Structure 1
């Protein structure tokens, strides 16, 4: 631990009033914390029989690391852990700081990963069975009050076998595998996905690339995957385009005319009025990221327009 990390560590001592048995509800849950080796992005996916688990468990900072805190969750662990990692502390040093400063560490569970991809998972002896975790290269999975050890082992396997998918989709695949293995043995209620990367937020003005939450749902992991699909549609730039046929243009001109965005009968020929109307249509559907100059179109946006109109 470097000098700055030691200084932060020394400031985390609890006051006497904090040294008491936790009174907060336990966040019995399963989560995955990971660093994408290709991009350096950090991500957390989590699910639980607990209201709005995404407001409690995950935290991440671009170029620094990610932390998930659960069981009788100590919410200080997220900002403290990230500050320590930013100051040069290793994951093991973060654990030792928590061990020294949290008298109720035996009730806690957390996972973290740093900027080098070093991962750590911790499960206190006071966590409710089944409780435990596993680590791999750049990834930690953990859970408590689970259906069994298969929840975390299936999560780790799904993540490690999903290298062909995007990083958010790998995290979702792990969460789905844990859910399929039984997940939280009390049932289902909420799920969340958080991914950060430098400058990858909306308009390049933040580091939050994905922040999706399902707070109260009968099948939260499935719903989270649906939301990820919407996110990909709205915020992913097209990788390829195709030319619109005369029939495509006629259909589009009919839609634009119906919505007051173009006058006259459909001609099947591309013109400036059709271009302007299509740009407005993209904006109305929050698809600006997918707009391309006509008479070409992003295939996914076009499929959406055909189903929508």
Structure 2
């Protein structure tokens, strides 16, 4: 009922799962991940116990292939299960039970595992693999969604489309540095869920991603004057806190607080301010 990719970033810092299915809210069931530990996808006849059990094994340093072997060996329903696992290092691993509905199968390599069932054919898995390995997207989450979209465009779930999900974790990378969950997005019921997931990820990137220091602009001179004028037009005149204080107040209302850097301005924030006023 599902196709997914489980992967680790090249530097080993990020782990994630992207999934799509002709099934309600697949993103609520399939993925699990823990920062600096690994990630997994349980699908076909989902076994939710695989999620905590699999992460517990990965936490102790068990290799992905051995996690798959251990989980499935202890499961009397393994013939109807499908599982993908990636650990903190090494190759990923994938498993497809003999009773999964055709077409079902998977592939795995260094830091990734791709699997699917009730697919249009094996070319769906090939497309996801090729998109992952040949990706040019600089951001890990975008790369996962691009790989998922390649599978969707190759035929995906042969029954149609309904839901998609994306989970990405990294140590301290969550909102305001208060969690390890960098991205957790779901499209539970939609006619084109993977493209909707990509749209949501674009919004998430704008609102929650920290700015690239190399792109920041100094908030002085003519630019500071323009920003002050725009803020005043938006109802946030510069006061005792200076331009930084007014900008921070405005950004908090616009949900852009993660992109605020004292004394400088993110070009994305500047563009948003200009567009708003």
Q: How many residues align?
A: 275
Between the aligned partners of 1:131 and 1:80, the Cα distance in structure 2 is 24
Residue 249 of structure 1: how far off its partner (Å): 5.6
Give a deviation string over 1:266-300, Cα, whole Å, max 9, x none. Answer: xxxx9965443222111111111212345x42111
Q: Is this contact kept in 1: 2:166–2:184, CA < 8 A?
A: yes
Q: 1:39 to 1:222 in 2, by over 3 A?
A: same
Where 1:126 maps in the other structure, the secondary structure is: coil
1:10-64 CA-to-partner distances (Å, cap 9, x unmatched) read xxxxxxxxxxxxxxxxxx1100001112143111000111111111000011121
Query: In structure 2, what is the Cα distance between the partners aligned to 1:94 and 1:39?
Result: 18
SS in structure 2 of the partner of residue 110 of structure 1: strand
Counterpart Cα distance in 2 of 1:48 and 1:177: 14
Unaligned runs of 5+ in 2: none
1:73 matched to 2:42: no
Query: Considering only CA atoms, is the larger Rg found in Structure 1 or Structure 2?
Result: 1
C-alpha displacement of 1:208: 1.0
Which residue number in structure 2 is paired with residue 12 of structure 1? none
Go from structure 1 to structure 2 and tell me whether the alpha carbon gap of 1:261 and 1:204 turns closer, same or farther (over 3 Å shift): closer
Q: How far 1:251 sits from its partner (Å)?
A: 5.6
State the partner residue of 1:237.
210
Q: What residue number does 1:192 align with? A: 165
Q: 1:204-240 CA deviation, whole Å, 9 max, x = no partner?
A: 2221111111111111111111111111112222222
In 2, Cα distance between the equivalents of 1:223 and 1:52? 13
Normalising by structure 2, we get a TM-score of 0.91
Aligned residue number for residue 297 of structure 1: 265
Alignment of 1:101-250 (within 5 A): 101-162=74-135, 165-239=138-212, 240-243=215-218
Measured at CA, do residues 123 and 57 of structure 1 come closer, stay the same or move farther in structure 2, by a change above 3 Å? same
What stretches of structure 1 of length at least 5 have no aligned partner? 1-27, 264-269
Question: Post-superposition shift, 1:113?
Answer: 0.9
* Secondary structure at 1:43 match in 2: strand
- Aligned CA RMSD, in angstroms, stands at 2.2
